[in-house]
Amino acid sequence: MTTAKSIEQRFSLSGRVALVTGGARGIGEMIAQGLLCAGARVYITSRKQEDLDQKVAELSQSGECIGLLADVSSSEGINALVASFAEREQQLDILINNAGKTWGAPLETFPESAWDDVMTINVKAPFLLIQALLPSMRQGATPEQPRHIVNIGSVAGIVKDGIRAYSYQASKAAIHHLTGILAKELVKDHINVNAIVPGSFPSKMTAGITRTEEQKSALQSTIPMGRMGEPDDIANLAIYICSSTYMTGAVVPIDGGAVLGNTIGYESFWGG
Ligand SMILES: NC(=O)c1ccc[n+]([C@@H]2O[C@H](COP(=O)([O-])OP(=O)(O)OC[C@H]3O[C@@H](n4cnc5c(N)ncnc54)[C@H](OP(=O)(O)O)[C@@H]3O)[C@@H](O)[C@H]2O)c1
């Protein structure tokens, strides 16, 4: 028999501290807003001070939001982010590894640099950030109040469609796999590690493939539910994962059934 609990008691993130990389736009912003509405204090990062200031002002209407300037493309950038977080907080409850990059080009001309850049931002940076933040996540974690690492993967890391984003697709499959490896290792520390696997959501990353109405409807027609994701779709899943105590190592699609359709619905991401 379950105890009667209010929605607030079940899903509240009140008193929790969250860090969302790339939280100033796109999917990161959608998740940051969800966590704020659930009561968390949310740190968002951006490489651009102006974007950060503007987004912090907007998101602060939903709760306590703090901006941190950060570039995660180097270990120096990651260490600087961790240092500025540590100046403000001793403990981190929720880490959302959202910052990401893509590149598309034909097989014959796909540049080597697109392997270095994409794998660095999408795989190496989440790993280094987790490594550097472990002490502040381990602190005070209990089975009743575990810490949460949520890596943002992609349907592109599951479906084998050739969208000519070779390093991107491989990087997302890698982050899904890394999620399980870290979940297994960190379960003893009461740190739950899960991955959210978005289908198609409107953002700067998908703007190029949804520019015209024709492109948009071509993409939507390949999604079993016939539409792209909306902010609440992904925010609600993030709130659920971050308020749950019994879930780790899960790689969870939120995609309108795109994985079932086994197609991504566009030919390529051209450029980054
Ligand atoms: N949109 C989709 O349909 C979709 C589908 C599946 C997965 N995803 C994943 O969702 C995540 C967010 O993507 P999005 O769609 O919201 O695209 P987006 O609008 O292009 O966002 C990319 C984010 O990554 C950050 N970022 C990029 N390089 C960075 C760096 N060197 N250091 C720090 N931050 C960096 C950007 O921050 P600043 O530019 O502000 O610094 C921005 O917030 C990515 O991991 C992406 O692969 C998206």
CATH number of the domain at 92, please. Answer: 3.40.50.720
Residue 272 CB-density burial (10 A; 0-12 exposed, 13-18 middle, 19+ buried): middle
Q: Is 99 in the pocket of ligand 1 (CB under 6 A)?
A: yes
7 located within any domain: no
What is the average pLDDT across 63-83?
98
Q: Which residues are catalytic?
A: 168
Whether pLDDT at 270 is above 90: no
Number of domains in the chain: 1
| 123 token code pair | 């795989």
244 located within any domain: yes
270 located within any domain: no
Pocket perturbation via mutation, ligand 1, pick of 27, 30, 72 by most ligand atoms within 8 A of CB: 27
4 located within any domain: no
135 located within any domain: yes
CB 153 within 8 A of CB 197: yes
What DSSP designation does 2 have?
A: P
Q: Is 125 in the pocket of ligand 1 (CB under 6 A)?
A: no
**Predicted confidence band at 185 (pLDDT cuts at 50, 70, 90)?**
very high
Give the range of the structural domain holding residue 105, as residue numbers without chain letter.
Answer: 13-261
In which residue are the tokens 């969302």 written? 20
Of ligand 1's listed atoms, the one at least distance from the Cα of 71 is 32
8 located within any domain: no
Whether pLDDT at 272 is above 50: no
**Predicted confidence band at 162 (pLDDT cuts at 50, 70, 90)?**
confident
What pLDDT sits at residue 130?
98
10-19, 105-114, 151-160, 210-219: lowest mean pLDDT where?
A: 210-219
Beta bridge partners of 76: none
- Calculated CA dihedral for residues 52, 191, 153, 272, nearest 10 degrees: 40
